[in-house]
Structure 1
Amino acid sequence: MNWQPFSAVFVTIFLAEIGDKTQLATVLFAADDKASRWLVFAAAASALVLAAGIGVLVGGQLERFVSPATLKRVAGVGFIAIGLWTLLSR
């Protein structure tokens, strides 16, 4: 098994998720004394797995119509645009 794609996806997604609104929402839910920490963890993990699954399914279908090189360019431009928007917004 080639671990390079696994490592690249893991590191990219992990870094993208640290400190984002999803993590902050999870922190807020976990801070509620009435919520079980394990329940919050299970719900958040399930939601992230489902969202990733949708991404994999959509990406698999897109690849049939658009070349992987074009998808990489579009994703790269999208990440740059979001980064610029984040840096320039107040």
Structure 2
Amino acid sequence: MEAFLVSTGIVALGEMGDKTQLLALLLAARFRRPWPIVAGILVATLANHAAAGLVGGWIAAWLGPDLLRWVVGGGFVAMAAWMLIPDKVDDDATPDRLRFGVFGTTVVAFFLAEMGDKTQIATVALAARFSDLWAVVAGTTLGMMLANVPAVFLGDRVARAVPMRLVHGVSALIFAVLGALTLLNVGQLF
């Protein structure tokens, strides 16, 4: 349960103001069809985070517990610093033409936007840290949905109402604490 809850919280906070959340806002504004967009986000996130979780599990098995602790701890500290850098949507993040319908466009755009993104890297690190792959993937997926579904339905009002600097600061603090706890080998997580 800890893996699920930590994964959900970290990704939900980390996703606030992230480029994929901005992409959700753009898709919602462009297509004005929230349900296919939400379904596309879910499918893309499940596929992306399952792959990231498998990579994290493989890294954990390959490195061994001592080296893994340092790699994951350092990774969490690096994520803390990365959280303080605001994201923006690339100009080519949303295609000019609607080739695959709203659902297909959302799946492709979200899957590609999530490659190498903070939440994907966080999923790799969380899967390496916790031994329960499916709890991590379920948690990170729920965190993505918690952050992006309101963005799809409420659009710009949500983005304007939430102070992104505060959200990014809290996210950075959580990553820094997790990194420190991991580096100091606190808890029974390994």
TM-score by length of 1: 0.73
Q: Which has the higher helix share?
A: 1
Structure 2 counterpart of 1:17: 15
Q: Structure 2 vs 1, CA of residues 84 and 50 (structure 1 numbering), >3 Å: closer, same or farther?
A: same
Is 1:76 aligned to 2:66, yes or no?
no
Structure 1 counterpart of 2:41: 44
The residue type equivalent to 2:39 in the other structure is: A
Structure 2 counterpart of 1:8: 6
> Which 5+ residue runs of structure 2 have no aligned equivalent?
87-190
> Which 5+ residue runs of structure 1 have no aligned equivalent?
none
Shift of 1:88: 7.5
TM-score by length of 2: 0.39
Count of paired positions? 86
Greater relative CO, 1 or 2 (CA 8 Å, sep 6+): 2
Give % identity.
33
Structure 2 counterpart of 1:27: 25
What secondary structure is seen at the aligned counterpart in 2 of 1:19?
A: coil
Shift of 1:71: 3.2
* Equivalent-residue separation in structure 2 for 1:20 and 1:88 (angstroms): 10
Shift of 1:69: 4.8
Structure 1 counterpart of 2:165: none
* Equivalent-residue separation in structure 2 for 1:53 and 1:62 (angstroms): 14
Structure 2 counterpart of 1:61: 58
User: Cα RMSD (Å) of the superposition?
Assistant: 2.5
The residue type equivalent to 1:28 in the other structure is: L
What secondary structure is seen at the aligned counterpart in 2 of 1:77?
A: helix
Shift of 1:16: 1.3
* Equivalent-residue separation in structure 2 for 1:15 and 1:29 (angstroms): 21
